[in-house]
Amino acid sequence: QRWTTARSRWRTRRVERRGRVVKFAATFAVNVAGVVLACNAGLAWGANALPTGAAPPSIKAPRQGFVAPAAGSYELPVIQAPTNGRVLDLDGRVHELAEYTRGKVTLLSFMYTYCVDPIGCPLAYKTLAAVRERVLAQASLAREVRFVSLSFDPVNDTPDAMKLYGGPLASPASPMRWHFLTTRSVAELKPMLDDLGQDVTVQLGADGQPTRVFNHMLKLFLLDAEGRVREIYSTAFLMPDVLFNDILTLSLASRRGG
């Protein structure tokens, strides 16, 4: 009951915000363009290691003080229409985002490869990796699900940087491929972020110049096979039990024609 009430309040607040999504400030494009162009791929915290001798960030996952309701015992109504735009795959080829958000249940996240905020991208990565293992344990479900991570930073996160970050998870040979995507420019990224209400700004240094730190609210988007948003997870509900049961709930509904 506590889980249902808390999640209902979160959903209500989220739906209310849909009408007042904060747009990318015009300065964002300028700031990103001013970020150092050379991507130090060694800073990636993902399937690959941190720089030699560096300790990984201390990730503090939210404490789950409730039992997640059984998959299929509840519904996840449509809360946002599909979005689309142009993205780059790991080989630098241009695709429509819809190719990665339709046809399967999709967990879509936004990130940047060198983020070390313990309650940011590393937490999302750790949670998604745990959920992925659960999905893989059910072969039929794994065929219905995909993960997609799209970079906030088209300047530094080139296709090569995303390939390094994704490692074996991004391989076509992976039993459940995780797609790591970027874009050609902020101008092509911005409309997709705006559509989904994913806010982000570039942090400025003491000298007023843009740094390589992005301030953003951590969000993961659960999409149905038509690309519609069915749930949005903030840090408070970024728990493997919750995400996995929601994925299975959408899968069960799809099998029933719902």
pLDDT per residue as tens digits for the range 83-142: 999 999 999 999 999 999 999 999 999 988 887 766 666 778 889 999 999 999 999 999
pLDDT score recorded for residue 206: 58
pLDDT score recorded for residue 111: 86
The percent of residues in the chain predicted with pLDDT above 70, rounded, is 64
pLDDT score recorded for residue 181: 98
Averaged pLDDT, 215-234: 88
Its pTM stands at 0.74
pLDDT score recorded for residue 152: 85
pLDDT score recorded for residue 205: 52
Burial of 159 by CB count in 10 Å (0-12 exposed, 13-18 middle, 19+ buried)?
Answer: middle
Average pLDDT over the chain reads 76
pLDDT per residue as tens digits for the range 22-59: 333 333 333 333 332 222 223 334 444 333 344 445 55
> Does position 3 have pLDDT exceeding 70, yes or no?
no
